[in-house]
Amino acid sequence: MGTSTNAYLAFGIDLGKPGDWRIREFTEDGRFTLPWFTGDPDDFAHEALLHLARERGHDVDFIDDAEEALDLEALRHRHGDHPMYVLAARVVRAWRGDVVAVDFAALERERAERRWDERLISACQVLGITPTQGTPSWVLCSYWSP
């Protein structure tokens, strides 16, 4: 058995984690106040993308299908057993042992051409969530799992 230690550079919105969500729509005891969400808080990020895809007319049952239809990702980071999530329009991954050259100028061109900011803000509006982050941005996060 190996250990995964990966790095992710993502353009998106930090959603946080169970017990420390980075959106305003939940009660003091951690329950969401979103009418569409009635599931387990551990599944929030994936349920959010499934709901968003269905609201936009896509017939999806699996997270991979929702991500493909929306061209967005519920990026799971931090730890395999204790994940945190970023709603991401683009992710650059560096797997354990890899070195990845990042062309920031090309990423910024892609950001403008594919309207990442607008798409992420629209996704939050459809979901009815208010991120504490404010606006989408580049975030650097890690993943570790035994």
Residues 70 and 56: their CA atoms lie apart, in Å, by: 9
pLDDT tens across 86-125, in order?
Answer: 999 999 999 888 899 999 999 999 999 999 999 999 999 9
Confidence at residue 80, expressed as pLDDT on a 0 to 100 scale = 64
Q: Is the pLDDT of residue 43 over 90?
A: no
pLDDT tens across 6-25, in order?
Answer: 899 999 999 998 888 899 99
Candidates 129, 102, 99, 135; CA nearest to 117 is 135
Q: What is the pTM for the complete model shown?
A: 0.89
